[in-house]
Structure 1
Amino acid sequence: MSIRTRLTLSYVSFFAIALLTLHTGLYLIVRGVLLNSVDNELRLGVEVLRRGFAESNQTPYGYFRDDQLRAILLRQPPVRDFEATSLYVQFFDADGDLVGRSPNIGEGDLAAALTLDEQRFARALDGAEQITTVAYGNVQIRELMAPLRFFNPVTRREETVGVLQVARSMAEIQYALRLLFYALTVGGVVVLLAAARGGAWLTRAAFRPIDEIAQTAQSIVRAEDLSRRIPVPPAADELQRLTITVNDLLARLEELFNHQRRFIADVSHELRTPLTAMQGNLEVLARGAARDPQLLNESLDDMRREVARLIRMVNDLLLLARSDAGIQIRRDPVELDTLLLETHRELRPLAGQVQLRIGEEDQAVVIGDRDRIKQALLNLGINAIQHTPPGGVVTLSLTIRDGHAALSVADTGYGIAPQDLPHIFERFYRADQSRCHNGGGAGLGLSIVRSVVEAHGGKVLVSSEPGKGSVFTMLLPLDSQPEVNDAELLPPDSEAEAAGYGMLNRSME
């Protein structure tokens, strides 16, 4: 069952419950008003009879006797006055004997229906007025039993001399209630049908934009064209927000797919170079170089270098894949000052004619993976050496700023062009190779730096100016500290603005 059908059924069901509640309440209110009007009419009839009896100065037997009905007609109001009315009247004395009745009762079934009930008669003699409903064929009769009193001048008090029974047929009331019930039932059915039709139309109109979104998304999937977007509805409602969200999702998917294509192409390109070199060396060996010791050693050395390059690339890709998968790193105390000295010793053999030195060196301890932090720092150091010309200077520093340990690698190399800064964080991206005096690597080193630093809850900042050098800073939190301002954490002697942080990826081995 579709959502549209379920919504329509839910709407109609809720409307039916509300309509049933309303009609039931309306029916009960009308019925109560009509019964109250009948009861008031019965009480008025009793009051009229009591007043007429009191003004007649007769005894109940004389006032209500059938043989004096003709004389009573001359008085107001005698029992016979109810002959042409809708009220039926009977009078019973204190012993329960019928004294008189209105002529409209007759001697048939109506008289049998109005037979005196002893329990209600006894309660009426005690002074309690009682209203009840009795059956008369298919018609109900509403009756009121009330005591009849008169003032005894001898005892000087009121005495109960009998019980008046005043009744009224409910035929008109039943007919009116029956018509009301039929009207409410038929009207309710018609309204429910109209509500179902209208609900189906409303849900269809409300879901039309969703159908368009689904159809557009399906066409995008079939065409495999993630550059297409769903038209945004003009109304600022939930559907507009949904469309914007879906378009953002499509843009994100397009970016991811494009990134994946570029990544696969870059990996293929990087793998092709060493494999082609190895294939060439194997062909040289196959043509007889194996019998020449010098050519054999040169070919083997070339293949060893290419294999080592492949191993480094595969290890870097594996590390990045693990980082993307969210694998947890170790959480141990790491003394960064000791780590800085170790990195300096390992980088000195690689520096060549580049001067490698240590700048500021504060003592700092962070919680993290020592090997990963060292690898990131080595990558920054190698990157700086490769992009610094002979005679230049590479400086390793460790400072503490606003609860963060700042590991900085500054060089006096070629710097980074402004158009390259937004892209140096991408994997396999390499700036101008002509400015790298040492060949460069696959372009994964700075991506590893960024993934390691972010895994430790830190940031990587870079500031660079062409011709003056670059400064890369790894910010690692010492403890749970609030966010810091990137501009405040840049080296104070740097005149360049922070160009960004993220996946740093300048070419390195």
Structure 2
Amino acid sequence: MKKFVNVSIKNQSLKTKWALTSAFVIFISFTIICSVLYWSLHSWLLSEQQQSVNRTMDDLTVFFESEGNAITIDDIRSNKGLMNSIIDKSQTVRILNKDGIEILRINDTISKTPDIPKSVPLQGYVVDKQKIEGIESFVATGKIEIGFFQGYIQLTHPLTAFQSLMNYLLMAMLISGLGALVLSAYIGYVLANMLLKPLHNLRQEMISVAEEGFEAPIQMIYNREDEIGDLLRVYRKMMGELEQSFLLQQQFISDASHELRTPIQVVEGHLSLIQRWGKDEPEVLNESLEISLSEIKRMKNLIGEMLELARGESHDHDNSCDILAVTNEIIQEQKILYPDITVNVNHQKLTSNFALISQNAFGQIIRNLLQNAIRYSNDHPSIQINLTNDLKHCKIEVEDNGIGIAENDLTHIFDRFYRVDDARSRDEGGTGLGLSIVKMLVNKYGGEVTVTSKLGLGTKFLVILPSKK
């Protein structure tokens, strides 16, 4: 049962939870206050009732002491008005002999005879609480001497009016508590509607985006500096980033499918040529196979670079690498592939070889910059690499003697699949992703990459990376 209640509460809306919670808190607070008030009034009124008994008994004691032997039991029996002027109409006074037998009763409000306490003081009286005929009562008992008569005087004070008043207060508090519960639930629900209205509007915005996509504009306006305002700003920022990421993904898929379509069509065309008649012509067969293998190699490189760009690399602040050693290693690797290139490395001003970047990431950066310089250079590429550093940064300059880049192309060379010379880069196996990978890796490690170039005079790339202290 408890589990069912918990599940049912969890499944309620936030407005309902808010209303129920506020009603519960207010009701508990009201109950505590009423309980304290009830018991305070109960103690105070009960004390007042006991004081009333004490005053009446004191008055009776003073009366009998002042009369002394001048009054008898018969006088009291024949003139009860004397006693009625002292006692309250709700009280009953009984005079008993030493054996506890009732001699006289004044103002008969009860029929049952209260018990006489076992020990009654010689002077004064004792007050105890007894239940008589189902009614709580204060009973005061004391010893008395009237003339030659010695016995007991007993005052019974029923708490009927007191109990009726307390029952009335209890009923009033219960009704007020139920009213407060209902009223607090209603007020809580109304306040929840008012305060959660921005969240409801934000939910509608999210539903619109889910149904219509990122084309659905964010129409919600909320300028208050509170938690909901912060939430809306975070949502807008997140939606902007998601939209940008979605558009980039769509562009990436579109560009990738376009780039892969061309080599696939070339391979398909040559395979069809071989199937039709090229298999009987050795020259056509060799040429088609060579072209097909070249296109397959280009597709392989393209897919590898696309995956590398999409996967990226996690940034580890503890990573560091020897940029001089890695640069020399990549240069030797490229000279095996391109024997005609000339690469000079100037590291005379390099006082610290270590940069805060992983060896794999830095190797990719140098490899892509060298391959880009080779593709866009003349028949005998000459590349100059300068390695320098200061207290905070390592600087890597890669300068070639190639064809250069037009000024209007400089702002796009780091875009995916962008090629300055499309025909030339295709012949050299370029994918248009190398410089995108360079920029992604440099940014990931807190660095910066810039480029300067002039047509016919070559291009210079400057990579700045944090140095290891």
The one-letter code sitting in structure 1 at the alignment partner of 2:27 is A
Residue in 2 that maps onto 1:103 = 106
Equivalent residues in 2 for 1:401-440, closer than 5 Å:
401-402=390-391, 405-411=394-400, 414=404, 417=407, 420-421=410-411, 424-431=413-420, 433=422
Residue in 2 that maps onto 1:359 = 346
Report how far residue 32 of structure 1 moved: 2.0
**Which deviates the most, 445-454 or 221-230?**
445-454
**Match of 2:347, SS?**
strand
Residue in 1 that maps onto 2:368 = 379
Equivalent residues in 2 for 1:10-89, closer than 5 Å:
10-56=21-67, 58=68, 62=69, 65-69=72-76, 79=83, 81-82=85-86, 85-89=89-93
Query: Partners of 1:189 and 1:297 in 2: how far apart?
Result: 95
Say if 2:425 and 2:431, in contact at 8 Å, map to a contact too. Answer: no
Query: Partners of 1:274 and 1:381 in 2: how far apart?
Result: 24
Query: Partners of 2:107 and 2:440 in 1: how far apart?
Result: 105
Equivalent residues in 2 for 1:216-227, closer than 5 Å:
216-227=205-216
Say if 1:82 and 1:104, in contact at 8 Å, map to a contact too. Answer: no
Alpha carbons of structure 1 residues 444 and 166: separation in structure 2 relative to 1, 3 Å: same
Q: Deviations over 1:140-193 (max 9, x none)?
A: 3223446789xxxxxxxxxxx987644322222222222222222223223322
Given candidates 339, 343, 357, the residue that maps to 2:326 is 339
Query: Partners of 1:448 and 1:26 in 2: how far apart?
Result: 76
Given candidates 175, 180, 185, the residue that maps to 2:169 is 180
**Which deviates the most, 223-232 or 267-276?**
223-232
Say if 1:72 and 1:80, in contact at 8 Å, map to a contact too. Answer: no
Instruction: Structure 2: state its 5+ residue gaps.
Output: 1-10
Query: Partners of 2:467 and 2:144 in 1: how far apart?
Result: 100
**Which deviates the most, 399-408 or 132-141?**
399-408
Alpha carbons of structure 1 residues 126 and 350: separation in structure 2 relative to 1, 3 Å: farther
Query: Partners of 1:55 and 1:463 in 2: how far apart?
Result: 119
Q: Deviations over 1:213-234 (max 9, x none)?
A: 3333223322234442241334
> How many aligned positions are there?
447
Report how far residue 267 of structure 1 moved: 0.7
Q: CA RMSD in A?
A: 4.1
Alpha carbons of structure 1 residues 103 and 349: separation in structure 2 relative to 1, 3 Å: closer
Query: Partners of 1:137 and 1:418 in 2: how far apart?
Result: 110
Residue in 2 that maps onto 1:472 = 462
TM-score computed with the length of structure 2 as normaliser = 0.78
Query: Partners of 1:431 and 1:183 in 2: how far apart?
Result: 89
Query: Partners of 1:419 and 1:232 in 2: how far apart?
Result: 40
Query: Partners of 2:320 and 2:235 in 1: how far apart?
Result: 44
Query: Partners of 1:392 and 1:30 in 2: how far apart?
Result: 103
Report how far residue 462 of structure 1 moved: 1.6
Query: Partners of 2:142 and 2:355 in 1: how far apart?
Result: 99
Report how far residue 90 of structure 1 moved: 4.6
Given candidates 211, 226, 242, the residue that maps to 2:200 is 211
User: Is 1:249 paired with 2:253?
Assistant: no
Residue in 1 that maps onto 2:17 = 6
Query: Partners of 1:416 and 1:163 in 2: how far apart?
Result: 127
Residue in 2 that maps onto 1:497 = none
Alpha carbons of structure 1 residues 466 and 253: separation in structure 2 relative to 1, 3 Å: same
Query: Partners of 1:73 and 1:91 in 2: how far apart?
Result: 12
Residue in 2 that maps onto 1:117 = 117
Alpha carbons of structure 1 residues 28 and 299: separation in structure 2 relative to 1, 3 Å: same
**Match of 1:116, SS?**
coil
**Which deviates the most, 237-246 or 403-412?**
403-412
Residue in 1 that maps onto 2:265 = 276
TM-score computed with the length of structure 1 as normaliser = 0.72
